[in-house]
Amino acid sequence: MSHQRVNPSPDIVELRNEGYEVEIRGAYLLISHVPYVNSAGAVKFGTLVSSLALNGDNVTKPDTHVVHFIGEHPCHKDGSIMSQIRHHSGVNTLAEGIVVNHSFSNKPQDGYPDYYAKMSRYAEMISAPAKSLDPSATAKTFRVIESAPDESVFNYVDTNSTRAEIEVISQKFKGQKVAIVGLGGTGSYVLDLVAKTPVDEIHLFDGDVFAQHNAFRAPGAPSVEQLRTPPLKVNYFAGIYSKMRRKIHPHAVILDAMNVSMLHGIGFTFVCIDRGRPKQDIVAFLETSGASFIDVGMGIQIAGGSLLGIQRVTASTPANRQLIKKHVTFDDGKEDDYASNIQIADLNMLNATLAVIKWKKLCGFYQDMEHEHHSTYTINVNQLLSE
């Protein structure tokens, strides 16, 4: 949908969710790419145009059953005009950039209750002959709907939330500034999940390059050409997810006591590093500044030719700092097999998923009955425990 001067109502959102090419221009609603048959019996595509009844910036019930059309007059399969809907023909400028050729009239007994009923009914009537000639002809194209920078952090509209009717719940993420410290296996999957929420800003912190071994425990699939000259991790991942959303800020640094103040003003931080001393500096700063954060970790070992171990997700909020002190160690874990780059992308992804689910609970997106701040998943017995 293009830049809007009015607030689209649920019925207009429903049109968009069903795949119609919906656009609002001023006080007019347009649906383009509507197939029809012209007088020569050929399948063409036109645009339906309806005035919008407004109360301030809000759309109300349609105030007329008449709709306008840009294109030739729709016909039946044999080329005869669809006279049952004919209302008026002639070039008419409704507004700047909206020049129509015809208007149609098809009034139900009680009128149209909303714009979904009105526009979908006209689209179905006009399209029926075209579909009989060409079954692939459809007005439901699911065309990409771009969003303007002042409308959304996403480059295109989040139709997933609107289709699932959870857009209001998703708004709980708006305005947040989130940091991800460490873009290894777990941190990169955290980014993949957080990038799909409408948080205002995402800040990435990692000073390492994206090397060949990283490709086997991170989302996506880099090319050989990309790996020949390894990019910085923050730039590599910012480049991928900037295709989807705005306001991803890469910081090619390793946070420590000297620069940890870069986290100032961040509302929530995911700590996804295994280096002990930098983690200690980060945790101390976040606690002192009153910020909330989640620390993740995995302890993986080889036993009898298989991998076993435990994944951990520990949250820290101003109301509960104790579990970080109880469960998080600040050694470097160099004896852990995970540190030797065993390729376990599924465990990284699961660790990230558990962390993001907990963050979403803290945001109120998911219902939280237990309010746990620490959980572990033990692989070989398939056991998930919370504390």
Q: Where are the domains of the chain?
A: 10-133, 159-386
Band of pLDDT at residue 287, cut at 50, 70 and 90: very high
The pLDDT value recorded for residue 356 is 98
Return d(Cα 380, Cα 309) in angstroms, integer.
Answer: 7
Beta pairing, strands 28-37 & 54-55:
unpaired
Of the chain, the end-to-end C-alpha distance in Å amounts to 45
Is the CATH number 3.40.50.720 carried by domain 159-386? yes
Band of pLDDT at residue 335, cut at 50, 70 and 90: very low
Band of pLDDT at residue 150, cut at 50, 70 and 90: confident
- Do 38 and 75 form a contact (C-beta atoms < 8 A)? yes
As a whole number of Å, the CA-based R_g of the chain is 27
Return d(Cα 33, Cα 26) in angstroms, integer.
Answer: 20
**0.85 exceeded by pTM:** no
Name the more confident of 65 and 274. Answer: 65
- Do 160 and 56 form a contact (C-beta atoms < 8 A)? no
Tokens coding 111: 């009128």
Band of pLDDT at residue 332, cut at 50, 70 and 90: low
The pLDDT value recorded for residue 156 is 86
Alpha carbon 265 to chain centroid distance?
Answer: 24
Task: Give the percent of the chain with pLDDT over 70.
Answer: 94
Residue in this structure with the two tokens 């579909």, named with its chain if needed: 131
Return d(Cα 299, Cα 306) in angstroms, integer.
Answer: 14
Angle subtended by helix axes 185-194 and 345-363, to nearest 10: 40
Tokens coding 382: 């398939």
Alpha-carbon separation of residue 167 from 140, 173, 366, 375 (angstroms): 22, 11, 13, 29
Alpha-carbon separation of residue 93 from 3, 90, 97, 102, 115 (angstroms): 21, 10, 8, 11, 22
- Do 156 and 145 form a contact (C-beta atoms < 8 A)? yes
Decide if pLDDT at 134 tops 90. yes
pLDDT per residue as tens digits for the range 198-225:
999 999 999 999 999 999 999 999 999 9
The pLDDT value recorded for residue 160 is 80
The pLDDT value recorded for residue 81 is 96
- Do 191 and 167 form a contact (C-beta atoms < 8 A)? no
The pLDDT value recorded for residue 2 is 42
pLDDT per residue as tens digits for the range 84-102:
999 999 999 999 999 999 9
Nearest to 25 by CA among 2, 9, 45: 2
Query: Reduced to 3 states, what is the DSSP secondary structure of residue 380?
Result: coil
The pLDDT value recorded for residue 178 is 98
